[in-house]
Amino acid sequence: MGGDFAPQATVEGAVLAARELKLRVVLVGDRSILQKEMAEHDCEGLDIIIEHAPEVVTMDDSPMEVVLAKPQSSLHVCYHLLKRGDVDAVISAGNSGAMMTIGITLLGNLPGIDRPAIASIMPTVEGLALLVDAGANTEAKALNLAQFGVMGSAYMHRLRGLAAPKVGILANGEEASKGTELTRTAAAMLAQSAPHINYIGYVEGRDLNHAKADVVVTDGFTGNVALKTMEGFASFLLGNLREVYGSSMRGRLSYLLVRKPLRAMRERFDPAEYGGAPLLGLAGRAIIAHGSSDPRAIRNALRTAANESLGDALSHDIVDLLGKMSTTIPSRMAGKGIRAIFGRMRERLHLRGKDGELGPERPKAEIPIAATGKSRTGGLLNGAGPITGGRETSNHGAEQSANVPAPALEHHAEKPNDKAPHTKEDEQP
118-149 pLDDT, tens digit each? 999 998 888 889 999 998 888 899 999 999 99
pLDDT at residue 381 above 70?
Answer: no
pTM of this prediction?
0.74
pLDDT digits (tens, 9 = 90+) for 174-197: 888 898 999 999 999 999 998 999
pLDDT of residue 111: 92
Q: Measure the CA–CA gap between 257 and 324, rounded to whole angstroms.
A: 54
Q: Measure the CA–CA gap between 418 and 44, rounded to whole angstroms.
A: 8
Please tell me the total number of residues recorded for the chain in this structure. 429
The proportion of the chain whose per-residue pLDDT surpasses 70, expressed as a percent, equals: 77
pLDDT digits (tens, 9 = 90+) for 238-287: 888 888 888 788 878 887 778 788 777 777 777 777 778 999 999 999 99
Spans of all domains in the chain: 1-116+281-316+329-429
In this prediction, residues 63-90 reach a mean pLDDT of: 92
Cβ atoms of 140 and 115 closer than 8 Å: yes
Q: Measure the CA–CA gap between 424 and 407, rounded to whole angstroms.
A: 7
Q: Measure the CA–CA gap between 60 and 311, rounded to whole angstroms.
A: 32
pLDDT digits (tens, 9 = 90+) for 221-233: 999 899 889 888 8
Torsion angle of the four alpha carbons 257, 261, 262, 266, in this order, in degrees rounded to the nearest 10: 160
pLDDT of residue 252: 81
